[in-house]
Chain A
Amino acid sequence: MLVSQQHASCFIPVTVILTVMLTLMGCSPENTHYQQPNGIIYCSEGNPASFNPQLDTSGTTVDVSSHQIYDRLLDFDLITGEIIPGLASSWITSTDGLTYTFQLRKNIVFHSTSYFAPTRTFDADDVIFSFNRWRDKNHPYHEVSGGRYPYINSVGLGDLISDIKRINRYRVEITLVRPESSFLANLATDFSIILSAEYADQLAKADTPELIDTHPIGTGPFKFNSFRQDRYVRFDAHPLYWRERSTTEQLIFDITPSSSLRLAKLMTGECDSMAFPTHSQLDIIRKRKELTLDEKPGLNVGFWAFNTAKAPFDNPEVRRALAMAIDKNALMEAIYFGSAIPATSIIPPSSWAFQPDTRSSTYNPLGAAKLLRENGVEEGFSMTIWAMPVERAYNPNAMKMAELMQRYLRDVGIDANIVSYEWSTFRARLNQGLHDSVLIGWSADNGDPDNFFRPLLTCSAIDSGTNRARWCSKEYDKLIDQALTYTNQEDRAYFYSKAIEMINDEMPLMPIAHAFRYQAYRDNLTGIEINPYGGIQFRNVSKP
């Protein structure tokens, strides 16, 4: 009697469970894979501040915009590092090195989107508009979105150019104040992008100029579709792109701040490629047969900068003592897991300005404590270490590094407090100079060594917010300027070696490490290439 009852009621759940399981097993990824729409998903690490890299040096903003939405007059060859034609098909330099004439490409089409339909192709007006926006303080667009152009100000590009002239529709002439050997390299960086003047005019008429940076228009391989904070950025292919490109129809940045979640998504195939694998994840990625890990020595430096505008950090002796208190080699193992080399100066070994025989600070806690006491820093002195909240190649875990340094500093009688904020707040407060010291770093935007010396430590870089040490020395600035007046590498290297010596004496910052750069992606992705000079490029990337 009870047997039949049991059968009656057992039947329902068993059927349900079986049906559900069978249905769902049927749609496992192998079966659905080829049915997915054509597109690439990149798991990125954070929200971009805007879609205009002129306004922001953060890698997150650069990755999402520079090489996806925009083009530049010139580009870097990713393999050789040479400057190659971009939107400018050719250029001529005058014999005095002051005048550059650029011949522009014809029939280059801007994006047409739901908010803009171009009526003309790219020409000289777009170049003049894009450059004058950061160059000319009275330009109607200069103050739009804050009026700060950190990279351009930090390398002094705005003051370097005295005039931009339109010769004809496809020819532009740029005149410099003084000859400068890094000028062309700066035009090829992620930040020298070309905007649409026609779009800007249209926005100005509608009285919504700020949309130029949130709803971008460019000539790049992908056009902006939509952005949802903390969720995604969506791009569509630009069908009339002028260069060769892959047939990828969609590009999506899946915003995933947690690196373990990014890796998990990469493993399940929810992402095709991920940003910034942490160094502890590298072995896991190497072991998975469906994942690939590329690696290249990076043009970057991670450092510990002292706020030299504040006492007692305005005293070079104190700064040297603090640098002596830290064991760099221990940090290499604990933070970088051996995927970086200890830095002796701010210049990485792959640069021609690198000085192999630079003497750097050595770990000496006793000497450090002695030097500190001599300079009036007593036992129990308290200071802050600001640890950046995001992972970067040059510092994959600033928080943990700060904790280790806290211990070293305790040995020399210093109480260190660790401070961290959300990334954009963090940088805003750094710009106000509220820190005592900060763990941060720099990735070069071009192969020129000037790109390390100038943005990191010159006086003008304090205001543009890249000189985190807030260190200003007229003598140093002069060395860096002089180096640029020579075109010969050997001549320039002389000045740079002087500069490196000066940094090591003054110790405005303690160089920690030069890290390798990694790119992790699924095997079926082709055409992905690490860009040592800046942001990621998806132009040639495709998925079968």
Chain B
Amino acid sequence: MLKIILRHASLLILTLFVLSFFSFSLAYLFPGDPLVNLTGIRGSSEQEYALLAEQYAMHSSFIVQYWQYVMHLFSGNWGLSFSSGLPLAEEISRSLAASVELSAYALIFSFLIGLPLGFLSGLRHHKFTDFTLLTASVIGYSIPVFWAALIAILIFSIQLGWFPLSGRISLLYDVPFETGFILIDILLSDLPDKEFAFQDALRHLVLPSVSIAIVTCTIVLRITRRSIVEVMSSEYIQAAYARGLSPRQVFLRHGVKNALIPILPLLVMQFTTLLTNAMIVETIFSWPGIGNGLIQAIYQRDFPAIRAGMLAVSALVLTFTITIDMVIQIFDPAGRRPENATS
């Protein structure tokens, strides 16, 4: 087990270094003064500039500069945003939290819908229900996320007026920042009308999380279906029937557990797909997340924000993927690893 942990940890550290090196070299690759791109401080006086250059070891070799950069990253100094002039570490952790929150709810949503439908489809293997669900899932899988989001806005916001189309909560509620997760922050806050604020935040969540969940939902459905088909045709299920158990007992006692265990890691891995889709959907729903932030940064040529934002997102995805992989290997020594990690 120690070996597995060590192997994954070294992989993680190495990749993170490559990533940070790439993000550092961006400061040189972007147009303009590398020091300005690193710090985000423009129009500083000569003394200030000299001081900054010293802090970032701009007169030393490239490697020393990189090392200084990493030190600054670890001490939480990620530079300032060009457009807002605020520290990026805070800006990014806020928006990253918003993205993670959205993806998490979307993941829960796709499990709530995808898993039961997958069971149903697997149990009715090659029957009408199965084919209908498969067709639906192919359609759902092929719909571009941003298109689904726009259609959802058109129908449910503008035509029917059921759900709001932008942001996390009505701006009339001033929810203080604690964890960055809006629902938790509302519960922690001392707003006088907490339950309404909570309801409002939920209504804001529906459309974005559903539009992201559509794709993941179909993936979950298909993975679950295949696993159920495999398990239900295995010998121990036949044996269970032979022992005289009812179909419901067979399914609940033997089917569900055995079908879920091998695919659980695969399902959790959908989180990274979700995060990618979330970043697209955020811009449509003006969700104040990292995807929206990055698009704005690109649009405004905010080089420090692009650099730090990319590093933060890729580091998060990487850490998540490697950790899950490690956990799987620790708990599944037989090495029944999923053949297809991202589907």
User: Interface of A with B (CB < 8 Å)?
Assistant: 1-2, 4-6, 8-10, 12-13, 16-17, 24-25, 27-29, 32, 35-37, 39, 41, 225, 228-232, 234, 250, 252, 254, 256, 261, 264-265, 267-270, 422
**4 nearest A-B pairs in the assembled complex, by CB-CB distance:** A229-B84, A13-B116, A12-B116, A9-B120
Which residues of B sit under 8 angstroms from A24, Cβ to Cβ? 162-163, 202-203, 206
Residue in B161, B173, B200, B251 whose CB lies within 8 Å of A5:
B251
Looking across the interface, which residue of chain B has its beta carbon closest to that of A30?
B161
Q: Is A269 a contact of B161 with CB atoms below 8 Å?
A: yes
| Smallest CB separation, A35 vs chain B (Å) | 5
Query: Does B260 interact with chain A (Cβ within 8 Å)?
Result: no
Most B CB contacts (10 A, CB to CB) among A9, A229, A232 go to A9
Instruction: Compute how far the CA of A214 lies from the CA of B226 in the bound complex, rounded to whole angstroms.
Output: 59
Q: Is B164 a contact of A270 with CB atoms below 8 Å?
A: yes
Query: Does B71 interact with chain A (Cβ within 8 Å)?
Result: no
Query: Does B54 interact with chain A (Cβ within 8 Å)?
Result: no
Which residues of B sit under 8 angstroms from A27, Cβ to Cβ? 199, 202-203
Q: A2-B247, A4-B247, A37-B193 are in contact. Are A229 and B164 (CB under 8 A)?
A: no
Most B CB contacts (10 A, CB to CB) among A27, A28, A261 go to A27
Contacts A252-B171, A261-B166, A264-B166 supplied; 11 other A-B pairs, CB < 8 Å: A4-B248, A5-B251, A10-B120, A13-B113, A13-B116, A27-B199, A29-B161, A37-B173, A234-B174, A252-B172, A264-B165
Q: Is A268 a contact of B158 with CB atoms below 8 Å?
A: yes
Residue in B123, B162, B170 whose CB lies within 8 Å of A2:
B123
Query: Does B126 interact with chain A (Cβ within 8 Å)?
Result: no
Looking across the interface, which residue of chain B has its beta carbon closest to that of A250?
B172
Q: Is A265 a contact of B165 with CB atoms below 8 Å?
A: yes
Residue in B113, B153, B299 whose CB lies within 8 Å of A17:
B113
Instruction: Compute how far the CA of A10 lies from the CA of B83 in the bound complex, rounded to whole angstroms.
Output: 52
Instruction: Compute how far the CA of A396 lies from the CA of B1 in the bound complex, rounded to whole angstroms.
Output: 66
Looking across the interface, which residue of chain A has its beta carbon closest to that of B192?
A37
Which residues of A sit under 8 angstroms from B199, Cβ to Cβ? 27, 32
| Smallest CB separation, A345 vs chain B (Å) | 38
Residue in A9, A13, A267, A270 whose CB lies within 8 Å of B123:
A9
| Smallest CB separation, A25 vs chain B (Å) | 7
| Smallest CB separation, A275 vs chain B (Å) | 15
Q: Is B112 a contact of A268 with CB atoms below 8 Å?
A: no
Q: Is A8 a contact of B251 with CB atoms below 8 Å?
A: yes
10 A–B contact pairs at CB < 8 A? A2-B124, A13-B120, A24-B206, A28-B161, A36-B196, A37-B172, A231-B288, A234-B171, A252-B172, A264-B166
Which residues of B sit under 8 angstroms from A267, Cβ to Cβ? 158, 161
Which residues of A sit under 8 angstroms from B129, Cβ to Cβ? 6
Query: Does B300 interact with chain A (Cβ within 8 Å)?
Result: yes
Q: A8-B248, A24-B206, A270-B164 are in contact. Are A232 and B116 (CB under 8 A)?
A: no
Residue in B86, B112, B157, B296 whose CB lies within 8 Å of A264:
B157
In residues 91-142 of chain B, which contact A (Cβ within 8 Å)?
112-113, 116-117, 119-120, 123-124, 129
Q: Is B163 a contact of A9 with CB atoms below 8 Å?
A: no
Q: Is B171 a contact of A254 with CB atoms below 8 Å?
A: yes
Instruction: Compute how far the CA of A9 lies from the CA of B123 in the bound complex, rounded to whole angstroms.
Output: 9
Q: Is A36 a contact of B164 with CB atoms below 8 Å?
A: no
A-B contact number at CB 8 A: 108
Instruction: Compute how far the CA of A12 lies from the CA of B111 in the bound complex, rounded to whole angstroms.
Output: 12
Query: Does B25 interact with chain A (Cβ within 8 Å)?
Result: no
Residue in B116, B120, B123 whose CB lies within 8 Å of A16:
B116
Instruction: Compute how far the CA of A264 lies from the CA of B158 in the bound complex, rounded to whole angstroms.
Output: 7
Looking across the interface, which residue of chain B has its beta carbon closest to that of A254?
B171
Which residues of B sit under 8 angstroms from A229, Cβ to Cβ? 81, 83-84, 86
| Smallest CB separation, A8 vs chain B (Å) | 5
Q: Is A232 a contact of B158 with CB atoms below 8 Å?
A: no
Looking across the interface, which residue of chain B has its beta carbon closest to that of A262?
B166
Instruction: Compute how far the CA of A225 lies from the CA of B174 in the bound complex, rounded to whole angstroms.
Output: 10
Q: A9-B116, A28-B162, A41-B172 are in contact. Are A1 and B300 (CB under 8 A)?
A: no
Query: Does B258 interact with chain A (Cβ within 8 Å)?
Result: no
Query: Does B276 interact with chain A (Cβ within 8 Å)?
Result: no
Instruction: Compute how far the CA of A534 lies from the CA of B157 in the bound complex, rounded to whole angstroms.
Output: 33
Q: A4-B247, A27-B199, A36-B196 are in contact. Are A232 and B171 (CB under 8 A)?
A: yes
Instruction: Compute how far the CA of A252 lies from the CA of B172 in the bound complex, rounded to whole angstroms.
Output: 7
Which residues of A sit under 8 angstroms from B248, Cβ to Cβ? 4-5, 8
Which residues of B sit under 8 angstroms from A13, Cβ to Cβ? 112-113, 116-117, 120
Q: Is A32 a contact of B196 with CB atoms below 8 Å?
A: yes
Instruction: Compute how far the CA of A527 lies from the CA of B119 in the bound complex, rounded to whole angstroms.
Output: 58
| Smallest CB separation, A21 vs chain B (Å) | 10
Instruction: Compute how far the CA of A2 lies from the CA of B251 in the bound complex, rounded to whole angstroms.
Output: 11
Q: Is A6 a contact of B123 with CB atoms below 8 Å?
A: yes
| Smallest CB separation, B136 vs chain A (Å) | 12
Which residues of B sit under 8 angstroms from A268, Cβ to Cβ? 157-158, 161, 164-165
| Smallest CB separation, A299 vs chain B (Å) | 32
Q: Is B166 a contact of A265 with CB atoms below 8 Å?
A: yes
Instruction: Compute how far the CA of A240 lies from the CA of B84 in the bound complex, rounded to whole angstroms.
Output: 32
Residue in A6, A25, A35, A41 whose CB lies within 8 Å of B120:
A6
Query: Does B286 interact with chain A (Cβ within 8 Å)?
Result: yes
| Smallest CB separation, A77 vs chain B (Å) | 32
Q: Is A25 a contact of B86 with CB atoms below 8 Å?
A: no
Which residues of A sit under 8 angstroms from B300, Cβ to Cβ? 422
Which residues of B sit under 8 angstroms from A1, Cβ to Cβ? 247
Residue in A8, A9, A270, A422 whose CB lies within 8 Å of B170:
A270
Instruction: Compute how far the CA of A542 lies from the CA of B86 in the bound complex, rounded to whole angstroms.
Output: 34
Instruction: Compute how far the CA of A36 lies from the CA of B83 in the bound complex, rounded to whole angstroms.
Output: 32
| Smallest CB separation, B206 vs chain A (Å) | 6
Instruction: Compute how far the CA of A519 lies from the CA of B252 in the bound complex, rounded to whole angstroms.
Output: 62
Instruction: Compute how far the CA of A35 lies from the CA of B162 in the bound complex, rounded to whole angstroms.
Output: 16
| Smallest CB separation, B178 vs chain A (Å) | 16
In residues 224-241 of chain B, which contact A (Cβ within 8 Å)?
none
Looking across the interface, which residue of chain B has its beta carbon closest to that of A43?
B166
Which residues of B sit under 8 angstroms from A32, Cβ to Cβ? 196, 199-200, 203
Q: Is B172 a contact of A39 with CB atoms below 8 Å?
A: yes
Which residues of B sit under 8 angstroms from A39, Cβ to Cβ? 172
| Smallest CB separation, B150 vs chain A (Å) | 11
Q: Is B171 a contact of A41 with CB atoms below 8 Å?
A: yes
Instruction: Compute how far the CA of A268 lies from the CA of B167 in the bound complex, rounded to whole angstroms.
Output: 13
In residues 152-188 of chain B, which contact A (Cβ within 8 Å)?
153, 157-158, 161-167, 170-174
